[in-house]
Amino acid sequence: MRWFELFFLLIVGILFFCLGWEIWKKEKISLIHDYHHKKVKDSDKKAYTTIMGKSLLIIGVGIILTGVIDFITHTLYGWWIFGIAFCIGLIIIVYAQVKYNHGLF
């Protein structure tokens, strides 16, 4: 069962990491749903994609660390890392949405 958890969390974490990288470095705003970036000005798109991409990277790294820590230690300490990383990433996403899109939707 531990192998399944590790494998699943690695796949999901790598997916979030790759999406964050594409949004941040390649500025693929199209990977974000339309209504989340509808009101973002063209001059702010680089800053918006940078913040959104980095927040997804933080969440992805948190998910990867969760799987690795739980697999090695056989405890649930990794889920604390997930909770912290997810909260930090979510706060950054909400900040970017409010600042550049002038609201969550």
Residues whose CB falls within 8 Å of the CB of residue 30, separated by 6 or more in sequence, listed in order: none
What would the pLDDT profile of 6-60 be if each residue is shown by its tens digit?
999 999 999 999 999 999 999 999 899 888 888 889 899 999 999 999 999 999 9
Query: Does the pLDDT value for residue 105 go beyond 80?
Result: no
Q: Where are the domains of the chain?
A: 2-101
Q: How far apart are CA 92 and CA 80, in angstroms?
A: 18
This model's pTM is above 0.75? yes
Q: How far apart are CA 96 and CA 105, in angstroms?
A: 12
Report pLDDT for 58. 98
Query: Does the pLDDT value for residue 102 go beyond 80?
Result: yes
Q: What is the pLDDT averaged over residues 78-97?
A: 96
DSSP assignment letter at 30: G
